[in-house]
Amino acid sequence: MTIEEFIFRHSQVSPEKTAIIAGTAEVSYAQLWQRMEEASSYFRGCGLKKGDRVVLSASKSVEFIYTYFGAHLAGMICVPVDPETNAVRLQRIVGCAEPSLIVGELRHGGSHEVKAFSEIHSEERFDTVFPESTDHADILFTTGTTGLPKGVVLSYSNLLAAAENINAFIGNSSDDVELLALPVSHSFGLGRMRCVMVEGATLVLLGSFASMKRFFGEMERCKATGFGMVPASWAYLRKMSGERIGSYAGQLKYIEIGSAFMPLEEKEMLMRLLPDTRICMHYGLTEASRSAFVSFHDEAGHLMTAGRPSPNTEIAVFNEAGERTGYDEDGEICVRGNHVCSGYWGLPEEEFRQDFNGEFFKTGDWGHLDREGYLHLVSRKKEIINVGGKKVSPIEVEEALNTMPGIEESACVGVADAVLGEVVKAFCVCSREVDFEEVKKSLPDKIETYKIPVYYEVIGRLPRTSSGKLQRLSLK
C-alpha cells in the first residue's frame, strides 16, 4: 500500500467525506482523488516519466496537495521547498535534484521557469498505476548549518510506515479534524498531512500561528480535534492569548509537539490546561521521522526525556567503537525501522551505508537509554564540546544559563583554547543588562566548573531553522 492508495480507497468508501478545508472551500475525498488524477495526467501528458523530479513550492494550499499526490501517481519524485527559499539555496537544490519541472509560487525563483499550480491539470486520462512501495517518493533537503543541503530520499514505504507509526501512538482516526499551521516544506508538517490522509480524516489548512483570531476562529468553526506545533508556536500562543487554549479542553483530542527543546514548566502548563488531551512530543529527524514519543499525561514522570521508541521502531546507543552501550551510558543514538530513509540523493549506496551501525541508522545525536527504555538526549554529536577531554553538552549549560536573571535564552558552542583544546562560549539573548561575572559566580551551584562558559556574547536573537530548531553550529 501507498498513501495514494489509501486516498483512493477513501474516495470509494466515503466519497462525500470532507478531506480538506481551506477557508470557505471544502474538498471531499472524491474531489481530491479527481484533482490528483488531473495533476497526474498533466505530468504524464508532458512526457515526464517515472523517477523524474519535480520541485514543488510547498504552500499550505489545496493546489499543493493535489499536485504533490498527483506527481506521485505519475511516478515522479517530489522535492518540496519553502516558498520563501532564497535564491542561493534554491539553485543548490535544483543543481542537485535536476528537476524536470518547478511548480508553484516561489518568491526567489530567479531565472528558473516556474509553472503555476493552476496549470497542473489535464482533461486527458491515463490508467492509474500506483507506485511501488520501494520506489522513491520524496527528496527532502535538510536545512544544515554549513555546506550544501543534503537530499534525504524517502520511499513510499518509508512515508507510510512513518504515518502508521505516528497514528498508532497518537491514536488518530477518521473522526479527526486537524488544524494544520505547520510548514509543509518540512518533515513535521508534511507528516501531519499524510497522517490525516491515511486515516481518511479532515485537514484544515491554516497559514500559520501568527493570527490568534484566525487560529481560534478556525478551531471553533471547524470543530478541530487536534493540531501539531513546535515549542516556539506554543510560546507564541501563550504570549498572545494567555490560557485561552484551555477553553478547548473538551474539544481537543490530541496535540503533537516536536522539533525543539521545551521547558518542563511549559509542559506542565499545557497538561493543566488540557487535562484530557493526548499531548505527545516526538523525537526524530528528516531521515527517521518520529522515532520516539512521550505522552505527557501517561508518562508524567519522564517529561524531560525524549520518550520511548515509537511503534515498530527500535533505538540503540553505540559508542565510538561501534559497540552497544549499557544503560545510562552516553553514545550515538541509532534507529532501526521501516520509516528510516532510503538514501541521500546522489550519494552511492556504499557511502550511505557508512551512516549505519549494522541495521541501525546513525542519527548524529548523543544520549543514552535508561533502564526503563526512555531516551535521554544530550546534544548533537557535532555540537558536543570537548573541554580538556571532558564532554560537555551545550543543552545542559544553556538550561543553567537560562535560569539566570536577565537571560531569556542562550546557545553554547566550543571555541578553541590553547590549553584545553576547547572551552565554552555562550551567546545570550537578554531582557536587560547582565553582569556575566556574577553569572560565572552563580553557575557552580548548577553545573561543574569546567562546563561554565569562559566567553559571553549578547545577541538579538538565536539562529533557528523555520521549524524552530536551534542552529548552534552557525554561531561558531
Q: Which of 65, 47, 48 is nearest to 56 (CA)?
A: 65
> Which string of DSSP letters, residue by residue, matches 286-320?
TTEEEEEEEETTTTGGGTTS--EEPTT-EEEEE-T
The three cell numbers of residue 273 are: 490546561
C-alpha to C-alpha distances, 309 to 136, 160, 325, nearest whole angstrom: 25, 17, 17
Residue 97, C-beta contacts closer than 8 angstroms, at least 6 positions apart: 53, 55, 79, 139, 141, 151, 345
Residue 303, C-beta contacts closer than 8 angstroms, at least 6 positions apart: 264, 267, 268, 294, 296
* C-alpha torsion sign, points 70, 75, 76, 81: positive
Q: How far apart are CA 364 and CA 357, in angstroms?
A: 12
Q: Would you give the distance in Å from CA 298 to the centre of its chain?
A: 23
Q: How far apart are CA 186 and CA 141, in angstroms?
A: 9
Q: How far apart are CA 342 and CA 158, in angstroms?
A: 8
Q: How far apart are CA 187 and CA 461, in angstroms?
A: 24
H-run or E-run covering 4: helix 3-13
Q: How far apart are CA 151 and CA 154, in angstroms?
A: 10
Range list of β-strands (E), 13-107: 18-22, 25-28, 53-57, 77-81, 101-103
Q: How far apart are CA 397 and CA 125, in angstroms?
A: 60
Q: How far apart are CA 136 and CA 434, in angstroms?
A: 52
Question: Residue 272's pLDDT is what?
Answer: 98
Range list of β-strands (E), 156-301: 177-180, 202-205, 226-229, 254-257, 278-285, 288-295
Task: Answer for the pair 446, 398: CB distance below 8 angstroms, yes or no.
Answer: no
Question: Residue 469's pLDDT is what?
Answer: 76
One pLDDT digit (tens) per residue for the chain, 476 residues: 999 999 999 999 999 999 999 999 999 999 999 999 999 999 999 999 999 999 999 999 999 999 999 999 999 999 999 998 888 888 889 999 999 999 999 988 878 899 999 999 998 888 889 999 999 999 999 864 445 678 999 999 999 999 999 999 999 999 999 999 999 998 999 999 999 999 999 999 998 888 999 999 999 999 999 999 988 889 889 999 999 999 999 999 999 998 677 889 999 999 999 999 999 999 999 999 999 999 999 999 999 999 999 999 999 999 989 999 999 999 999 999 999 999 999 999 999 999 999 999 999 898 999 999 999 988 777 788 888 777 788 988 998 999 999 999 999 999 988 878 889 999 999 999 999 999 999 999 888 888 999 999 999 999 987 667 788 888 98
Question: Residue 466's pLDDT is what?
Answer: 66
H-run or E-run covering 356: strand 356-357
Residue 36, C-beta contacts closer than 8 angstroms, at least 6 positions apart: 4, 7, 66, 69, 70, 73
Q: Which of 379, 167, 466 is nearest to 289 (CA)?
A: 167
Instruction: Quote the DSSP letter at residue 189.
Output: H
- Chain region(s) in the chain for CATH 3.40.50.12780: 3-375
Question: Residue 378's pLDDT is what?
Answer: 82
Task: Indicate the CATH number of 384-475 among 3.30.300.30, 3.40.50.11260, 1.10.150.120, 3.40.50.300.
Answer: 3.30.300.30
Task: Answer for the pair 376, 367: CB distance below 8 angstroms, yes or no.
Answer: yes
End-to-end CA distance of the chain: 45
Q: Which long-range contacts (CB under 8 A, 24 or more apart) does 325-328 make?
A: 325/368, 327/368, 327/369, 327/370, 327/371, 328/368, 328/369, 328/370, 328/371
Strands 101-103 and 53-57: parallel
Q: Which of 270, 189, 177 is nearest to 225 (CA)?
A: 177
Question: Residue 319's pLDDT is what?
Answer: 92
- Chain region(s) in the chain for CATH 3.30.300.30: 384-475
Question: Residue 145's pLDDT is what?
Answer: 41
Q: How far apart are CA 17 and CA 174, in angstroms?
A: 10
Judge residue 250's burial from the number of C-beta atoms within 10 Å of its C-beta, 0-12 exposed, 13-18 middle, 19 or more buried: exposed
Domain 3-375 has CATH 3.40.50.12780: yes
The three cell numbers of residue 295 are: 505522552
Task: Measure the CA dihedral 460/462/464/470, to 10°.
Answer: -170
Task: Answer for the pair 65, 34: CB distance below 8 angstroms, yes or no.
Answer: no
Residue 51, C-beta contacts closer than 8 angstroms, at least 6 positions apart: 75, 76, 77, 135, 136
Q: How many residues are given for the chain?
A: 476
Instruction: Quote the DSSP letter at residue 382.
Output: G
Task: Answer for the pair 144, 104: CB distance below 8 angstroms, yes or no.
Answer: no
pTM of the model: 0.84
